[in-house]
A = this chain, B = another copy of it.
């Protein structure tokens, strides 16, 4: 089945917002055996919308459209589909009733402009949208399918999961692409590529390497009639890679540093606390992105001001002698929060997020320390040449990396 994805919206074309919907959908097409050949973006322009929709209708079996279903004049996805199919829209009484009920529930009157969200055409059936006012459309004619969903990610994702994906799964698949991602850390992309090269020839297998913030990923892909057959091609290659990369492999597929660390702590019934300065709570927030983080993470302190570091128990003498931006202060923060919150591990981060220097240390200077149950403390110091947001993000990634090292060492 040949598919393409179209995102509608001038805001997306001009990059005022990033289109995450296309990625969300594209990620799931391979396992459905659907080949994605094109991804494109079109602005809120009637002519260009019709042009792009007709080309898609002509060349693809399945066209997935997101956005342009709002109530305003510059929401033209419905109008575009009508033109391409040459069908006239009518207001569907059930949809209208449902729409008016929605507004009653919200307690304010429905602007008449919203009425077009109750449109249907002969070839379209409505897709439920419990999270918003715009229903989607499943349009089918002459062996072509157009799926139209709202652009608001939470609305789109639910409609995709509950209405669209199940329907696509029901349609027979001629072959399935299964992928396995192996995540390594501590080796450059070129070297990972050379180490994995002996496996590149493996029949039925495709291998790619990708440099990421959390290390270099190896992606093994296999296409076969069934998932089982695809997996039987992937497994031996994966085992070879385990041999080649050993401990440099920290995770697979959707694994994250914070998730892997959470699993290690949960398995060992150990706990963790944090004291952050320049990352301003991003480490705590990242740790608590993991469901069940409460099992091993009681909490942490964001000590943005030096006074608050001292009030929280950090020895002023250390700060006095070595400065706030120093490995010694990071170590004192890690030890202090570990003792104070009574956890097995403690993490301390201090540095300069920027844009201005601090204590004559340039922006991007960051010191991380992890205190372990056995009293050992490991350090990591880095100096990054990037913006404030990136400095915070990378400092957190490196803190998690250091934490994993401490957990491996302590095991």
A244 within 8 A of B: no
Instruction: Give the residues from 25 to 48 in chain A that come closer than 8 angstroms, CB to CB, to chain B.
Output: 25-27, 29-30, 36, 38-41, 44
Q: Check if B11 sits within 8 Å of A15, measured CB to CB.
A: no
A355 within 8 A of B: yes
A291 within 8 A of B: yes
Q: Which of A140-148, A223-231, A234-242, A296-304 is the interface stretch?
A: A296-304
Q: Which residues of B contact A294 (CB under 8 A)?
A: 304-305
Q: Check if A189 sits within 8 Å of B70, measured CB to CB.
A: yes
Instruction: Give the residues from 292 to 315 in chain A that come closer than 8 angstroms, CB to CB, to chain B.
Output: 293-294, 297-305, 307-308
Partner of A26, one of B15, B108, B341: B15
A22 within 8 A of B: yes
A122 within 8 A of B: no
A243 within 8 A of B: no
Q: Which residues of B contact A111 (CB under 8 A)?
A: 188, 190-191, 193-194
Please report the C-alpha to C-alpha distance between residue A137 and residue B337 in the assembled complex, in whole angstroms: 49
Q: Which residues of B contact A288 (CB under 8 A)?
A: 279-282, 302, 304, 353, 392
Q: Which residues of B contact A298 (CB under 8 A)?
A: 304-305, 307-308
Please report the C-alpha to C-alpha distance between residue A287 and residue B304 in the assembled complex, in whole angstroms: 11
Please report the C-alpha to C-alpha distance between residue A113 and residue B194 in the assembled complex, in whole angstroms: 8
Tell me how many chains of this kind the complex includes.
2
Q: Check if B293 sits within 8 Å of A287, measured CB to CB.
A: no
Q: Check if B211 sits within 8 Å of A70, measured CB to CB.
A: yes
Distance between A329 CB and nearest chain B CB, rounded to angstroms: 15
A162 within 8 A of B: no
Q: Which of A82-90, A371-379, A381-389 is the interface stretch?
A: A381-389
A123 within 8 A of B: no
**Which B residue sits closest to A106, measured CB to CB?**
B188
**Which B residue sits closest to A153, measured CB to CB?**
B390
Interface residues as binary, A1-29 with B (CB distance below 8 Å gives 1, 0 otherwise): 00000000011111111111011111101
A209 within 8 A of B: yes
Q: Check if A113 sits within 8 Å of B284, measured CB to CB.
A: no
A283 within 8 A of B: yes
How many chain A residues have a CB neighbour from B under 8 Å? 91
A residues neighboring B (CB under 8 Å): 10-20, 22-27, 29-30, 36, 38-41, 44, 70-74, 106, 108, 110-111, 113-114, 130-131, 152, 154, 181, 188-191, 193-194, 200, 208-212, 219, 274, 276, 279-285, 287-289, 291, 293-294, 297-305, 307-308, 341, 353-356, 385-386, 388-390, 392
23 A-B residue pairs with CB within 8 Å: A10-B208, A12-B23, A14-B27, A14-B36, A15-B24, A16-B219, A18-B20, A38-B40, A71-B189, A72-B189, A72-B193, A72-B209, A106-B188, A111-B194, A131-B386, A280-B287, A282-B288, A285-B392, A291-B354, A291-B355, A294-B305, A297-B304, A299-B301
A19-B23, A130-B385 given. 14 additional CB < 8 A pairs?
A: A14-B29, A15-B24, A18-B23, A72-B193, A72-B209, A111-B188, A111-B194, A280-B284, A281-B287, A281-B288, A285-B392, A288-B302, A299-B301, A301-B302
5 shortest interchain CB distances as A-B pairs: A280-B288, A281-B284, A15-B23, A15-B26, A281-B281
